[in-house]
Amino acid sequence: MYTSEVESAELVRMDKPAPRDWAQMDKSGVKETFDSIADYYDHMNRVMTMGRHRHWCKEVARRAVVPLGGSLLDIATGTGEIALAARCLYPHAAITAADFSESMLAAAAARASADRISWQVADANSLPFADESFDSVTSGYLLRNVDDVYRVLAEQFRVLKPGGNLVVLETCPPTGPLSPLVTLGVRLAIPMLGQAIAHDRESYKYLRDSTLAFIPPEKVAGIARRAGFQNVRWRRKFLGTNMILWARRPA
């Protein structure tokens, strides 16, 4: 169901410090983690979300609402699930998909219809695009992996055209009466699946810890407003462990 919007526009910070084993990992360490799991990324996402991940990516693309002949930037594209969904929905749009992991981009570029997308290595903290370049900006599982959520959202605001749409797919800490049980499931299941499928327990321990320590949707919404976005809304998914957030740059 829809959640109400947060009225405060103050700078929002995490309530609790992130676990030491990933909070101090530098950008090169995060990149190395994602490079190492590129071959298993899609399969793991399908297993961990019981097949819902692809549907969420399609919803993100649909909410991007790219105009005829318009342009979309997908940041932290990974293996390109959102970008490829947008390619199907908006066949006449110019779609650019960016990631800082060359291994992820290589896996994405090998997929069907990938030749109709511009793939580019880029850092979400400092995007290599001019101001007001895109009609829509999307991202998947980006914000929990950056040091400064405000800076990254401000960069997305900068490259969006006035009236452009922002859509974010992200994990979030579970809430509600079942949250202790769901949290326990996340703590146990993600590293176990990482070991069983990718033979990489450590990388998925990082993904588990960054998921559980990330801020809730209402705080992401508050940061988005501070970055300049309006009409910020969100919807939780999958027992509250994922969310889709959408907003607009004022015209």
Binding residues for S-adenosyl-L-methionine: 79, 99, 123-124
SS3 of residue 117 by DSSP? coil
Residues 152/124, Cβ–Cβ less than 8 Å:
yes
SS3 of residue 50 by DSSP? coil
DSSP state letter for 114: G
DSSP state letter for 126: B
**Dihedral (CA of 250, 153, 246, 58) sign:** positive
Task: Kindly write down the DSSP assignment for every residue of 158-206, as one continuous string.
Answer: HHEEEEEEEEEEEE----STTHHHHHHHHHHHHHHHIIIIIS-HHHHHH
226 contact partners, CB below 8 Å, separation of at least 6: 9, 10, 11, 12, 150
Q: Where are the beta strands (DSSP E) in the chain?
A: 71-75, 94-99, 118-121, 134-140, 160-171, 230-237, 242-248
Q: Known binding site: residues?
A: 79, 99, 123-124
Residues 176/6, Cβ–Cβ less than 8 Å:
no
